[in-house]
Structure 1
Amino acid sequence: MSPRRTAVEAQHTKDSILTTALDIASLDGLEGVTIGRLAAELTMSKSGVLNHFGTKQSLQLAAVHWVVNDFTHRVVEPATRSRPGLDRLLALCDNWFDYLADTGLPGGCLLTAAAAEFDGRDGEVRDAVVDSWRSWQSHLRAELVRANLDVDPDQAVFEIVAFGPALNQALQLHGDREAVRHAKRAVRRTLGQPDSG
Protein backbone atom coordinates (compact mmCIF):
# COMPACT_ATOMS: atom_id res chain seq x y z
CA MET A 1 0.00 0.00 0.00
CA SER A 2 1.40 3.39 -0.98
CA PRO A 3 1.95 6.12 1.62
CA ARG A 4 -0.38 8.37 -0.37
CA ARG A 5 -3.20 5.84 -0.22
CA THR A 6 -2.61 5.35 3.48
CA ALA A 7 -2.81 9.12 4.06
CA VAL A 8 -6.03 9.37 2.02
CA GLU A 9 -7.59 6.50 3.97
CA ALA A 10 -6.52 8.04 7.28
CA GLN A 11 -8.10 11.37 6.28
CA HIS A 12 -11.28 9.58 5.21
CA THR A 13 -11.46 7.83 8.60
CA LYS A 14 -10.85 11.11 10.43
CA ASP A 15 -13.60 12.80 8.38
CA SER A 16 -16.00 9.94 9.18
CA ILE A 17 -15.30 10.28 12.89
CA LEU A 18 -15.88 14.04 12.79
CA THR A 19 -19.09 13.71 10.73
CA THR A 20 -20.49 11.19 13.20
CA ALA A 21 -19.42 13.40 16.12
CA LEU A 22 -21.21 16.38 14.56
CA ASP A 23 -24.43 14.40 14.17
CA ILE A 24 -24.26 13.19 17.77
CA ALA A 25 -23.40 16.64 19.11
CA SER A 26 -26.26 18.30 17.25
CA LEU A 27 -28.71 15.88 18.88
CA ASP A 28 -27.18 15.22 22.31
CA GLY A 29 -24.78 18.12 22.86
CA LEU A 30 -21.01 18.18 22.67
CA GLU A 31 -20.83 16.29 25.97
CA GLY A 32 -22.77 13.49 24.26
CA VAL A 33 -19.74 12.92 22.04
CA THR A 34 -17.69 10.20 23.70
CA ILE A 35 -14.86 8.09 22.36
CA GLY A 36 -16.72 4.90 23.28
CA ARG A 37 -19.90 5.96 21.52
CA LEU A 38 -18.04 6.95 18.37
CA ALA A 39 -16.09 3.70 18.37
CA ALA A 40 -19.33 1.73 18.67
CA GLU A 41 -21.15 3.67 15.95
CA LEU A 42 -18.22 3.45 13.54
CA THR A 43 -17.29 -0.15 14.50
CA MET A 44 -13.80 0.99 15.43
CA SER A 45 -11.68 0.49 18.49
CA LYS A 46 -11.46 3.31 21.03
CA SER A 47 -7.74 3.54 20.32
CA GLY A 48 -8.56 3.91 16.61
CA VAL A 49 -10.68 6.97 17.36
CA LEU A 50 -8.10 8.37 19.76
CA ASN A 51 -5.34 7.95 17.16
CA HIS A 52 -7.07 10.60 15.04
CA PHE A 53 -8.09 13.13 17.69
CA GLY A 54 -6.17 12.29 20.86
CA THR A 55 -8.83 13.36 23.36
CA LYS A 56 -12.54 13.94 23.64
CA GLN A 57 -11.86 17.67 24.04
CA SER A 58 -9.86 17.76 20.81
CA LEU A 59 -12.77 16.13 19.04
CA GLN A 60 -15.22 18.62 20.55
CA LEU A 61 -13.01 21.52 19.46
CA ALA A 62 -12.75 20.06 15.95
CA ALA A 63 -16.56 19.92 15.82
CA VAL A 64 -16.86 23.57 16.90
CA HIS A 65 -14.25 24.68 14.35
CA TRP A 66 -15.95 22.71 11.59
CA VAL A 67 -19.29 24.38 12.31
CA VAL A 68 -17.69 27.84 12.45
CA ASN A 69 -16.09 27.24 9.04
CA ASP A 70 -19.37 25.95 7.60
CA PHE A 71 -21.21 28.97 9.03
CA THR A 72 -18.64 31.32 7.51
CA HIS A 73 -18.96 29.63 4.14
CA ARG A 74 -22.76 29.56 4.10
CA VAL A 75 -23.68 32.75 5.97
CA VAL A 76 -20.85 35.29 6.01
CA GLU A 77 -19.17 34.81 2.64
CA PRO A 78 -22.34 35.09 0.49
CA ALA A 79 -23.24 38.33 2.30
CA THR A 80 -20.02 39.97 1.11
CA ARG A 81 -21.66 40.26 -2.31
CA SER A 82 -24.09 42.78 -0.80
CA ARG A 83 -23.25 46.47 -0.37
CA PRO A 84 -21.55 47.20 2.99
CA GLY A 85 -23.88 48.54 5.67
CA LEU A 86 -27.61 47.89 5.79
CA ASP A 87 -27.78 45.64 2.72
CA ARG A 88 -24.99 43.43 4.00
CA LEU A 89 -26.39 43.40 7.54
CA LEU A 90 -29.78 42.24 6.27
CA ALA A 91 -28.09 39.64 4.05
CA LEU A 92 -26.12 38.34 7.05
CA CYS A 93 -29.27 38.04 9.14
CA ASP A 94 -31.33 36.46 6.35
CA ASN A 95 -28.53 33.98 5.59
CA TRP A 96 -28.23 33.17 9.29
CA PHE A 97 -31.91 32.44 9.65
CA ASP A 98 -31.95 30.33 6.48
CA TYR A 99 -28.92 28.47 7.84
CA LEU A 100 -30.70 27.77 11.12
CA ALA A 101 -33.59 26.29 9.14
CA ASP A 102 -31.21 23.93 7.33
CA THR A 103 -27.85 23.40 9.03
CA GLY A 104 -27.37 19.97 7.50
CA LEU A 105 -27.20 18.46 11.00
CA PRO A 106 -30.04 16.33 12.42
CA GLY A 107 -30.39 18.38 15.61
CA GLY A 108 -30.08 21.89 14.20
CA CYS A 109 -27.47 24.51 14.98
CA LEU A 110 -24.64 23.08 17.04
CA LEU A 111 -23.29 26.49 18.09
CA THR A 112 -26.69 27.65 19.34
CA ALA A 113 -27.08 24.48 21.39
CA ALA A 114 -23.47 24.66 22.61
CA ALA A 115 -23.99 28.24 23.84
CA ALA A 116 -26.62 26.94 26.28
CA GLU A 117 -24.72 23.73 27.05
CA PHE A 118 -21.48 25.49 28.00
CA ASP A 119 -22.72 28.82 29.38
CA GLY A 120 -21.90 27.92 32.99
CA ARG A 121 -18.66 26.03 32.39
CA ASP A 122 -14.98 26.72 32.01
CA GLY A 123 -12.46 25.31 29.58
CA GLU A 124 -11.25 25.40 26.00
CA VAL A 125 -14.49 24.19 24.46
CA ARG A 126 -16.48 26.92 26.20
CA ASP A 127 -13.86 29.46 25.11
CA ALA A 128 -14.17 28.33 21.48
CA VAL A 129 -17.96 28.64 21.64
CA VAL A 130 -17.73 32.09 23.26
CA ASP A 131 -15.19 33.23 20.64
CA SER A 132 -17.47 32.15 17.81
CA TRP A 133 -20.41 34.11 19.23
CA ARG A 134 -18.27 37.20 19.97
CA SER A 135 -16.92 37.15 16.44
CA TRP A 136 -20.45 36.95 15.04
CA GLN A 137 -21.66 39.82 17.23
CA SER A 138 -18.68 41.96 16.21
CA HIS A 139 -19.35 41.24 12.56
CA LEU A 140 -23.00 42.25 12.90
CA ARG A 141 -22.09 45.39 14.84
CA ALA A 142 -19.54 46.48 12.25
CA GLU A 143 -22.14 46.35 9.49
CA LEU A 144 -24.70 48.07 11.70
CA VAL A 145 -22.30 50.95 12.37
CA ARG A 146 -21.58 51.22 8.62
CA ALA A 147 -25.32 51.45 7.98
CA ASN A 148 -25.46 54.59 10.16
CA LEU A 149 -29.06 53.97 11.24
CA ASP A 150 -30.91 55.89 13.91
CA VAL A 151 -30.66 53.02 16.40
CA ASP A 152 -28.47 52.19 19.39
CA PRO A 153 -25.96 49.72 17.89
CA ASP A 154 -25.44 47.76 21.11
CA GLN A 155 -29.17 47.40 21.72
CA ALA A 156 -29.83 46.44 18.11
CA VAL A 157 -27.09 43.79 18.09
CA PHE A 158 -28.40 42.40 21.38
CA GLU A 159 -31.87 42.03 19.88
CA ILE A 160 -30.66 40.59 16.59
CA VAL A 161 -28.49 38.00 18.31
CA ALA A 162 -31.43 37.04 20.56
CA PHE A 163 -33.55 36.23 17.50
CA GLY A 164 -31.23 33.35 16.49
CA PRO A 165 -31.72 31.12 19.55
CA ALA A 166 -35.44 31.98 19.57
CA LEU A 167 -35.69 30.90 15.94
CA ASN A 168 -33.67 27.75 16.57
CA GLN A 169 -36.03 26.79 19.40
CA ALA A 170 -39.10 27.48 17.28
CA LEU A 171 -37.70 25.28 14.53
CA GLN A 172 -36.29 22.44 16.64
CA LEU A 173 -38.75 22.28 19.53
CA HIS A 174 -41.97 23.37 17.85
CA GLY A 175 -41.35 22.58 14.19
CA ASP A 176 -42.54 26.07 13.27
CA ARG A 177 -41.39 26.64 9.68
CA GLU A 178 -43.00 30.11 9.64
CA ALA A 179 -40.54 31.19 12.32
CA VAL A 180 -37.88 32.05 9.72
CA ARG A 181 -40.18 34.64 8.18
CA HIS A 182 -41.00 36.04 11.63
CA ALA A 183 -37.30 36.34 12.51
CA LYS A 184 -36.55 38.22 9.28
CA ARG A 185 -39.41 40.62 10.00
CA ALA A 186 -38.21 41.08 13.58
CA VAL A 187 -34.75 42.17 12.40
CA ARG A 188 -36.23 44.76 10.07
CA ARG A 189 -38.44 46.13 12.84
CA THR A 190 -35.43 46.38 15.16
CA LEU A 191 -33.60 48.35 12.49
CA GLY A 192 -36.60 50.56 11.67
CA GLN A 193 -36.80 49.20 8.12
CA PRO A 194 -39.83 48.34 5.96
CA ASP A 195 -41.37 44.97 6.77
CA SER A 196 -40.25 42.25 4.36
CA GLY A 197 -43.63 40.51 4.68
Structure 2
Amino acid sequence: MLEKPGISSEFRPAPGGMVAVANRYQSDSPQTQYLYAGLIEVFRDSDTGRLSMIPLGDLKKLFPLKAGAKSKTEFVRLSSKKAPQGTETLALTVKGKDTYRLGDCKYNVLVVGETITGESGNVIDTFTALYSPDLQAVLARRYDEGNERAKRGGVREDQAAGAMRRLRPTANCQPAEHQPRRRRPAATA
Protein backbone atom coordinates (compact mmCIF):
# COMPACT_ATOMS: atom_id res chain seq x y z
CA MET A 1 0.00 0.00 0.00
CA LEU A 2 1.38 3.41 -0.99
CA GLU A 3 -0.44 6.34 0.56
CA LYS A 4 -0.46 9.98 1.52
CA PRO A 5 -3.32 12.19 2.68
CA GLY A 6 -6.10 12.02 0.09
CA ILE A 7 -4.54 9.27 -2.05
CA SER A 8 -3.88 5.56 -1.60
CA SER A 9 -2.70 2.84 -3.98
CA GLU A 10 -3.09 -0.82 -3.13
CA PHE A 11 -0.99 -3.34 -5.07
CA ARG A 12 -2.07 -6.96 -5.52
CA PRO A 13 -0.61 -9.75 -7.64
CA ALA A 14 -2.83 -10.82 -10.54
CA PRO A 15 -2.64 -13.73 -13.02
CA GLY A 16 -0.39 -13.56 -16.07
CA GLY A 17 2.46 -11.62 -14.44
CA MET A 18 0.20 -8.64 -13.79
CA VAL A 19 -0.06 -6.42 -10.75
CA ALA A 20 -3.47 -4.87 -10.04
CA VAL A 21 -3.34 -1.39 -8.54
CA ALA A 22 -6.45 0.12 -6.93
CA ASN A 23 -6.01 3.89 -6.67
CA ARG A 24 -8.35 5.80 -4.39
CA TYR A 25 -8.47 9.58 -4.38
CA GLN A 26 -10.19 11.78 -1.82
CA SER A 27 -11.42 14.25 -4.46
CA ASP A 28 -11.68 12.05 -7.58
CA SER A 29 -13.19 8.76 -8.73
CA PRO A 30 -11.26 5.53 -8.04
CA GLN A 31 -8.98 4.11 -10.72
CA THR A 32 -7.83 0.57 -11.44
CA GLN A 33 -4.60 -0.17 -13.29
CA TYR A 34 -2.97 -3.38 -14.46
CA LEU A 35 0.78 -3.24 -14.88
CA TYR A 36 2.89 -6.05 -16.30
CA ALA A 37 5.43 -7.00 -13.58
CA GLY A 38 4.34 -3.84 -11.77
CA LEU A 39 6.16 -1.65 -14.31
CA ILE A 40 4.43 -1.51 -17.71
CA GLU A 41 0.86 -0.20 -17.76
CA VAL A 42 -1.40 -2.28 -19.99
CA PHE A 43 -4.86 -1.28 -18.71
CA ARG A 44 -6.49 1.60 -16.81
CA ASP A 45 -10.15 2.04 -15.85
CA SER A 46 -11.93 4.91 -14.09
CA ASP A 47 -15.07 7.02 -14.40
CA THR A 48 -13.24 9.12 -17.00
CA GLY A 49 -12.74 6.14 -19.33
CA ARG A 50 -10.82 3.02 -20.13
CA LEU A 51 -7.40 2.70 -21.71
CA SER A 52 -5.63 -0.42 -22.91
CA MET A 53 -2.06 -0.60 -24.16
CA ILE A 54 -1.90 -3.76 -26.28
CA PRO A 55 1.72 -4.91 -26.68
CA LEU A 56 2.70 -6.15 -30.14
CA GLY A 57 5.57 -8.18 -28.65
CA ASP A 58 6.24 -10.53 -25.75
CA LEU A 59 6.67 -8.57 -22.51
CA LYS A 60 7.91 -11.70 -20.72
CA LYS A 61 11.19 -11.45 -22.64
CA LEU A 62 11.98 -8.10 -20.97
CA PHE A 63 12.16 -9.59 -17.47
CA PRO A 64 14.01 -9.98 -15.20
CA LEU A 65 15.46 -6.52 -15.77
CA LYS A 66 19.20 -6.05 -15.39
CA ALA A 67 21.38 -2.94 -15.19
CA GLY A 68 22.32 -1.82 -18.68
CA ALA A 69 19.40 -3.58 -20.39
CA LYS A 70 17.65 -1.75 -23.23
CA SER A 71 14.48 -2.75 -25.04
CA LYS A 72 11.78 -1.39 -27.33
CA THR A 73 8.23 -2.70 -27.51
CA GLU A 74 5.49 -1.53 -29.85
CA PHE A 75 1.98 -0.97 -28.48
CA VAL A 76 -1.43 0.04 -29.77
CA ARG A 77 -3.31 2.39 -27.44
CA LEU A 78 -7.03 1.57 -27.28
CA SER A 79 -9.45 3.93 -25.58
CA SER A 80 -13.20 3.84 -25.12
CA LYS A 81 -13.30 7.49 -26.20
CA LYS A 82 -11.25 7.53 -29.44
CA ALA A 83 -9.88 5.31 -32.18
CA PRO A 84 -6.21 4.19 -32.18
CA GLN A 85 -3.83 6.77 -33.64
CA GLY A 86 -1.27 4.20 -34.82
CA THR A 87 1.41 2.37 -32.90
CA GLU A 88 3.53 3.72 -30.05
CA THR A 89 6.92 2.49 -28.90
CA LEU A 90 7.94 2.04 -25.28
CA ALA A 91 11.72 2.23 -24.87
CA LEU A 92 13.10 0.96 -21.55
CA THR A 93 16.68 1.63 -20.43
CA VAL A 94 17.84 0.25 -17.09
CA LYS A 95 20.27 2.98 -16.04
CA GLY A 96 21.47 1.24 -12.89
CA LYS A 97 20.67 0.22 -9.33
CA ASP A 98 19.95 2.38 -6.31
CA THR A 99 18.21 2.38 -2.95
CA TYR A 100 15.12 4.45 -2.32
CA ARG A 101 13.88 5.57 1.06
CA LEU A 102 10.19 5.66 1.92
CA GLY A 103 9.36 6.44 5.51
CA ASP A 104 11.48 4.28 7.79
CA CYS A 105 12.44 1.80 5.07
CA LYS A 106 14.91 1.59 2.22
CA TYR A 107 14.22 -0.48 -0.87
CA ASN A 108 16.52 -1.73 -3.60
CA VAL A 109 15.36 -0.26 -6.90
CA LEU A 110 16.32 -0.27 -10.54
CA VAL A 111 16.53 3.14 -12.18
CA VAL A 112 14.54 2.63 -15.39
CA GLY A 113 14.23 5.25 -18.11
CA GLU A 114 10.91 4.99 -19.93
CA THR A 115 10.14 6.87 -23.14
CA ILE A 116 6.94 6.50 -25.16
CA THR A 117 7.07 7.74 -28.76
CA GLY A 118 4.46 7.92 -31.50
CA GLU A 119 4.80 6.53 -35.03
CA SER A 120 6.39 9.75 -36.27
CA GLY A 121 8.98 9.66 -33.47
CA ASN A 122 7.32 12.38 -31.39
CA VAL A 123 7.88 11.92 -27.65
CA ILE A 124 4.56 11.34 -25.88
CA ASP A 125 6.01 10.87 -22.39
CA THR A 126 9.39 10.35 -20.78
CA PHE A 127 10.38 9.77 -17.17
CA THR A 128 12.59 7.71 -14.89
CA ALA A 129 10.90 5.01 -12.82
CA LEU A 130 12.38 3.85 -9.52
CA TYR A 131 11.23 0.25 -9.80
CA SER A 132 11.43 -2.35 -7.04
CA PRO A 133 11.59 -5.82 -8.61
CA ASP A 134 11.05 -7.35 -5.15
CA LEU A 135 7.81 -5.44 -4.59
CA GLN A 136 6.89 -5.38 -8.30
CA ALA A 137 6.06 -1.70 -7.95
CA VAL A 138 7.23 1.67 -9.16
CA LEU A 139 7.97 3.52 -5.92
CA ALA A 140 8.56 6.88 -7.60
CA ARG A 141 8.84 8.57 -10.97
CA ARG A 142 11.22 11.38 -11.86
CA TYR A 143 10.10 13.76 -14.54
CA ASP A 144 13.52 15.23 -15.18
CA GLU A 145 14.04 14.30 -18.80
CA GLY A 146 13.21 17.64 -20.44
CA ASN A 147 9.60 16.84 -21.28
CA GLU A 148 6.64 19.17 -20.81
CA ARG A 149 5.97 18.03 -17.23
CA ALA A 150 9.57 18.74 -16.25
CA LYS A 151 9.49 22.14 -17.99
CA ARG A 152 6.36 23.10 -16.03
CA GLY A 153 7.48 21.86 -12.63
CA GLY A 154 11.17 20.97 -12.61
CA VAL A 155 12.17 17.63 -11.18
CA ARG A 156 9.19 15.97 -9.56
CA GLU A 157 9.00 12.59 -7.96
CA ASP A 158 5.75 10.73 -7.76
CA GLN A 159 4.35 7.25 -7.76
CA ALA A 160 2.62 6.01 -10.89
CA ALA A 161 -0.84 6.91 -9.61
CA GLY A 162 -0.17 10.34 -8.14
CA ALA A 163 1.98 12.20 -5.67
CA MET A 164 4.71 10.62 -3.56
CA ARG A 165 3.37 8.42 -0.82
CA ARG A 166 4.47 6.60 2.29
CA LEU A 167 4.78 2.85 1.96
CA ARG A 168 3.36 0.72 4.71
CA PRO A 169 6.22 -1.53 5.83
CA THR A 170 6.31 -4.96 4.24
CA ALA A 171 8.44 -8.04 4.66
CA ASN A 172 10.87 -6.46 2.16
CA CYS A 173 11.37 -3.37 4.34
CA GLN A 174 14.98 -2.76 5.32
CA PRO A 175 15.01 -0.26 8.20
CA ALA A 176 16.81 2.83 6.90
CA GLU A 177 18.97 3.29 9.97
CA HIS A 178 20.02 -0.38 10.01
CA GLN A 179 21.18 -0.79 6.42
CA PRO A 180 23.96 -3.34 6.07
CA ARG A 181 27.22 -1.62 5.24
CA ARG A 182 29.09 -2.66 2.18
CA ARG A 183 32.27 -4.38 3.12
CA ARG A 184 35.44 -3.35 1.42
CA PRO A 185 37.45 -6.15 -0.08
CA ALA A 186 40.29 -7.25 2.14
CA ALA A 187 43.63 -5.81 1.10
CA THR A 188 45.95 -8.37 -0.39
CA ALA A 189 49.64 -8.24 0.17
Q: TM-score, normalised by structure 1?
A: 0.22
Give the structure with the higher percent helix. Answer: 1
Greater relative CO, 1 or 2 (CA 8 Å, sep 6+): 1
Q: TM-score, normalised by structure 2?
A: 0.23
Give the structure with the higher percent strand. Answer: 2
